[in-house]
A = this chain, B = another copy of it.
Amino acid sequence: MSFLFVIEVLGTAAFAISGAFSAMQKKLDLFGVLSLAFVTAIGGGTIRDVLIGNTPVTWMRDMTTPITILAATLIALAFNRLLKNLKYTLFLADTVGIGLFTVIGIQKGISVGLHPGICVALGTMTACFGGVVRDVLLNQIPALFHTREIYATACIAGGTAYFVCDSFIPDQPADIIAIVVIVAIRLIAVRMNWQLPAVKE
> Which 8 A-B residue pairings sit nearest by Cβ, starting from the closest?
A53-B55, A32-B145, A29-B148, A24-B201, A29-B196, A52-B56, A28-B146, A30-B196
Q: Does A25 contact B (CB under 8 A)?
A: yes
Residues of B within 8 A of A141 (CB): 26, 28, 137-139
96-140 of chain A: CB within 8 A of chain B: 112, 114-115, 117-118, 121-122, 132, 136-140
| Given A137-B142, A140-B139: A60 in contact with B27 (beta carbons within 8 A) | no
What CA separation (Å) do A46 and B137 show in the bound complex?
18
Residues of B within 8 A of A31 (CB): 144-145, 152-153, 196
Q: Does A9 contact B (CB under 8 A)?
A: no
Q: Does A92 contact B (CB under 8 A)?
A: no
Q: How many residues of A contact B (CB 8 A)?
A: 56
Residues of B within 8 A of A71 (CB): none
Most buried by B among A24, A77, A146: A146
Residues of B within 8 A of A201 (CB): 24-25, 27, 80
Question: Does A199 contact B56, Cβ atoms closer than 8 Å?
Answer: no
Residues of B within 8 A of A121 (CB): 66
What CA separation (Å) do A136 and B137 show in the bound complex?
6
